[in-house]
């Protein structure tokens, strides 16, 4: 899509027309103009925080970086041959860890796909990380889904990472400098990034307190031990101390579940827990 057609489409969205874009993209375009006062003709360079600011962001995210790094290294090995780059941002959108091909370092720096880049929506416009922070759902922002001209060549697929208290902690983004035109070309990237985010949440939950009980859940019993879909951390009396995002969807809507006994929020009796759970580190039992 040419710059002129892109700007024209944004204008139609602002006038209330449906143009076939994903609804979260159209909503982001409206925020860019109406809340942030952005110009779709702009070609602003990526916003990079200072070295001192990056050190501060990385220091606050140390626990997350340590928990996520081995899993992200594994994911990068799967996609490196396809020229993907991985970004781990904090909840404010600042990239605190990065995996990319050294051959493309300068191109990635210019595109903002590098350490210290700030992909919050109010600075970068419509983008994968920014839209993920706002919606708190996995998203793909593909090529001219982006708002500003500077990012129209990129394809960015991002998934949120939540801490065990249900708060957004980070965003995992997998991006391409250049990609095939169909947005469906990023379906595999979506599957990979959402699975990786789930595993980071699981690793964080398991590491938080090795003496607590962890109730692991899976729709496929044969994968329960190796790759559970969700987990809940409980104290010895069966009270909920933490959970992964996927587990939260199993609980009743509204209100907090933290501190409640598991039999109050799920169809599980506390008496059944010894048969359903094992300690996070059974070798210490």
Domain ranges of the chain: 41-206, 209-279
- Residues constituting the chain: 285
- Please give the CATH architecture assigned to the domain spanning 41-206: 2-Layer Sandwich (3.30)
Model confidence at 279, pLDDT cuts 50, 70, 90, reads very low
For residues 94 and 117, the answer to whether their CB atoms sit within 8 Å is: yes
Which token pair is 126? 């419509």
Q: How far apart are CA 31 and CA 37, in angstroms?
A: 8
pTM listed for this prediction? 0.89
Q: Looking at the predicted structure, is the pLDDT value of residue 281 above 70?
A: no
DSSP 269: -
Which token pair is 33? 């103009």
Residue with tokens 């990319």, as numbered in its chain: 100
Helical axes 62-79 vs 51-60, angle rounded to 10°: 100
Per-residue pLDDT tens for 46-65?
A: 899 999 999 999 999 999 99
DSSP 88: E
Model confidence at 98, pLDDT cuts 50, 70, 90, reads very high
pLDDT, mean over the chain: 89
**pLDDT value at position 176?**
94
Per-residue pLDDT tens for 214-239?
A: 888 888 877 777 778 888 999 888 89
For residues 218 and 229, the answer to whether their CB atoms sit within 8 Å is: yes
Higher-confidence residue: 237 or 90? 90
Neighbouring C-beta atoms of residue 172, cutoff 10 Å: 28
């Amino acid at each position: 899509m040419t710059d002129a057609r892109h700007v024209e489409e944004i204008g139609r969205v602002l006038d209330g027309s449906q143009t076939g874009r994903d609804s979260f993209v159209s909503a982001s375009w409206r925020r860019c103009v109406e809340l942030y006062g952005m110009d779709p003709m702009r070609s602003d360079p990526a916003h990079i925080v200072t070295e001192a600011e990056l050190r501060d962001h990385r220091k606050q995210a140390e626990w997350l970086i340590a928990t996520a790094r081995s899993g992200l290294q594994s994911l990068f090995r799967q996609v490196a041959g396809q020229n993907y780059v991985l970004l781990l941002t904090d909840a404010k959108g600042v990239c605190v860890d990065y995996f990319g091909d050294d051959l493309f370092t300068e191109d990635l720096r210019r595109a903002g796909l590098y350490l210290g880049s700030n992909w919050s929506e109010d600075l970068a416009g419509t983008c994968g990380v920014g839209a993920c922070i706002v919606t708190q759902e996995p998203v793909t922002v593909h090529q001219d889904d982006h708002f500003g001209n500077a990012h129209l060549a990129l394809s960015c697929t991002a998934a949120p990472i939540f801490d065990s208290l249900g708060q957004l902690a980070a965003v995992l983004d997998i991006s391409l400098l250049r990609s095939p035109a169909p947005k469906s070309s990023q379906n595999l990237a979506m599957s990979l990034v959402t699975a990786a985010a789930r595993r980071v949440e699981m690793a964080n939950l398991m590491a938080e307190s090795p003496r607590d009980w962890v109730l692991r859940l899976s729709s496929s019993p044969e994968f329960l031990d190796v790759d559970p879909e969700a987990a809940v951390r409980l104290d010895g009396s069966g009270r909920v101390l933490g959970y992964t995002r996927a587990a939260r969807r199993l609980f009743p809507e509204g209100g907090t579940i933290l501190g409640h006994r598991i039999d109050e929020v799920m169809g599980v009796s506390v008496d059944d827990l010894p048969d359903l759970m094992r300690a996070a580190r059974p070798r210490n039992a």
